[in-house]
């Protein structure tokens, strides 16, 4: 099924040149038609497809779609709107980005697909590191999987410069234990947005990343 047409990218290109509330309100109907409504329909169908394989995903599109409005409270850039549209599908939805899932970021230039976890608490991070430390070989087996690496590349995320003493020995064997976030990123061509196989293609990435995500979920609950 095709959800989007060329105006998805064109809308954000125009918004980039007119990122203000007056222009946005003048183009609100266009935003609803070309961006919001088709994205909600896409997310509804994608969630339904994911639920076939993971019934613990008990969320709806409204729980996962991110707002186009930017949070400018602590930013020097006061432009009011994001120049992309996205959503985060996990067992917690957009309100808890610590729970591993799949994050989609559609821009005028590309389709971004992110998996893993980002906003991790101190307790969750400690649990993940402990889980990794208890079986370094198992962790390495997860992230060096050939298919995972071909689709997403390496694990990304900020790192602590100072490693807690209880993990220092493990750090010598597995430097990734220093990560503060554990996520991976894939980028696809913009043409995918208009493809009738959009969900089929996204699901390929979901399936490939599932062992990685489930490993992190278990690690957090350790």
Identify the domain containing residue 188 by its residue range.
7-220
Look-up: residue for tokens 């008990």? 58
Question: What's the pLDDT score for residue 25?
Answer: 97
Are 118 and 181 spatial neighbours (Cβ–Cβ below 8 Å)? yes
Q: Say what percent of the chain tops pLDDT 90.
A: 91
The answer to the question of residue 2 being in a domain is: no
Q: What is the CATH number of the domain that holds 31?
A: 3.30.930
Quick check: is 197 in a domain?
yes
User: How would you write the pLDDT of the chain (222 residues) with one tens digit per residue?
Assistant: 999 999 999 999 999 999 999 999 999 999 999 999 999 999 999 999 999 999 999 999 999 999 999 987 877 888 999 999 999 999 988 888 889 999 999 999 999 999 999 889 999 999 999 999 999 999 999 999 999 999 999 999 999 999 999 999 999 999 999 999 999 999 999 999 999 999 999 999 999 999 999 999 999 987
SS3 159: strand
Answer yes or no: is 21 within a domain.
yes
Q: Does any domain span residue 1?
A: no
Would you say residue 23 lies in a domain?
yes
Tell whether 54 is covered by a domain: yes
Please give the tally of structural domains in the chain.
1
How high is the pLDDT of residue 156? 96
Of all residues in the chain, what percent are helix, strand and coil, respectively (each to 5)?
Answer: 55, 15, 30
pTM: 0.94
Token pair 């409270």 in the structure block, residue = 73
């Amino acid at each position: 099924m095709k959800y989007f047409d060329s105006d998805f990218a064109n809308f954000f290109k125009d918004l980039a040149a007119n990122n203000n509330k007056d222009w946005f309100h003048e183009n609100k109907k266009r935003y609803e038609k070309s961006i919001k409504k088709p994205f909600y329909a896409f997310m509804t169908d994608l969630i339904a497809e994911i639920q076939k394989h993971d019934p613990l995903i008990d969320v709806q599109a409204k729980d996962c779609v991110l707002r186009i409005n930017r949070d400018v409270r602590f930013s020097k850039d006061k432009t009011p709107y994001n120049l992309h549209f996205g959503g985060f599908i996990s067992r917690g939805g957009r309100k808890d980005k610590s729970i591993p899932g799949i994050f989609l970021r559609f821009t005028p230039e590309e389709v971004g697909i992110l998996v893993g976890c980002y906003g991790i608490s101190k307790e969750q991070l400690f649990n993940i590191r402990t889980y990794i430390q208890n079986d370094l070989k198992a962790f390495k087996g997860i992230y060096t999987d050939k298919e995972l690496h071909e689709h997403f590349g390496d694990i990304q995320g900020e790192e602590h410069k100072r490693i807690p003493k209880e993990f220092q020995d493990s750090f010598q064997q597995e430097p990734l234990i220093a990560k503060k976030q554990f996520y991976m990123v894939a980028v696809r061509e913009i043409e995918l947005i208009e493809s009738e196989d959009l969900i089929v293609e996204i699901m390929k990435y979901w399936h490939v990343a599932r062992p990685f995500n489930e490993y992190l979920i278990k690690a957090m609950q350790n």
